[in-house]
């Protein structure tokens, strides 16, 4: 069973993503901050990390850079309400970029695509 880490400062988004992805058959953990995410990463391994870019007083892009260096086998999806970050070079480190939406289909499709690519490697 694939494991997913959600990092988002909005409780409603963490709950929605957790419920939807658990219903898809994934094991899901959620963190509200980079510090919480790092605690979970120290205890568990994940196949996919789903990062919000704009956290309260932090940037998901900072965590992305750390993950690329230290967790290179984990796929990373940036999820944000702001499509303007697609032009930020540091966002290009992510495996995928999904604009937040109440329609979870694009996000679910990206997770499946990244997991299939990981299995093929």
Domains of the chain: 3-120 (3.40.50.2300)
pLDDT one-digit tens code per residue, 20-50 = 999 999 999 999 999 999 999 999 999 999 9
Quick check: 78 and 51 in contact, CB under 8 A? yes
**87 pLDDT above the threshold of 60:** no
Quick check: 95 and 114 in contact, CB under 8 A? yes
């Amino acid at each position: 069973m694939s494991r997913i880490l959600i990092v988002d400062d909005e409780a409603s988004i963490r709950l929605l993503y957790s419920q939807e992805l658990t219903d898809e058959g994934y094991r899901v953990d959620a963190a509200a901050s980079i510090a919480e995410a790092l605690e979970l990463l120290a205890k568990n391994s994940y196949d996919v990390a789903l990062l919000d870019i704009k956290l309260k007083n932090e940037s998901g892009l900072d965590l992305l850079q750390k993950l690329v260096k230290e967790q290179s086998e984990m796929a990373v999806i940036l999820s944000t309400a702001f499509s303007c970050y697609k032009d930020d070079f540091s966002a290009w480190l992510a495996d995928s970029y999904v604009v937040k939406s109440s329609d979870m289909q694009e996000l679910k499709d990206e997770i499946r695509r990244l997991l299939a690519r990981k299995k093929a490697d």
